[in-house]
């Protein structure tokens, strides 16, 4: 299992992409967190409230998840990162893998 993370400025955008990924069986689930981000963009310091989304998928599908998120993301340069959990409950990992079988 692997977790793909990204951020959005509108929850509706996040939900739209998550719904697509769930329907296509590319992810088993997604979690949302409200975050505040500070960054430099085009020479200006930005401070934004964003929605951080964690997308739980199988190792074999994460390239497709990244490709779809990048393609559908409203940001010019989205933050897309992956997390390899140090430990995942085996039953949970089995569920993620079963739900993301194409």
Structural domain that includes position 10: 2-99
**Predicted confidence (pLDDT) at residue 87 exceeds the cutoff of 90:** yes
Task: Mark 54-84 as b/e (b = at least 16 C-beta within 10 Å).
Answer: ebbbbeebbebbbebbeeebeeeeeebeeee
Domain count, the chain: 1
pLDDT in tens, 31-70: 999 999 999 999 999 999 999 999 999 999 999 999 999 9
CATH number reported for the structural domain that contains residue 60 in this entry: 3.30.70.120
pTM, to two decimals:
0.94
């Amino acid at each position: 299992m692997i977790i793909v993370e990204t951020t959005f400025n509108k929850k509706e955008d996040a939900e739209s992409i998550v719904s697509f990924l769930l329907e296509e069986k590319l992810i088993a689930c997604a979690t949302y967190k409200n975050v505040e981000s500070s960054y430099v963009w085009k020479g200006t310091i930005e401070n934004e409230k964003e929605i951080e989304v964690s997308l739980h998928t199988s190792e074999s599908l994460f390239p497709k998840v990244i490709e779809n998120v990048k393609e559908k993301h409203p940001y010019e340069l989205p933050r897309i990162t992956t997390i390899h959990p140090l430990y995942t409950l085996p039953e949970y990992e089995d569920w993620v893998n079963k739900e993301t079988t194409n």
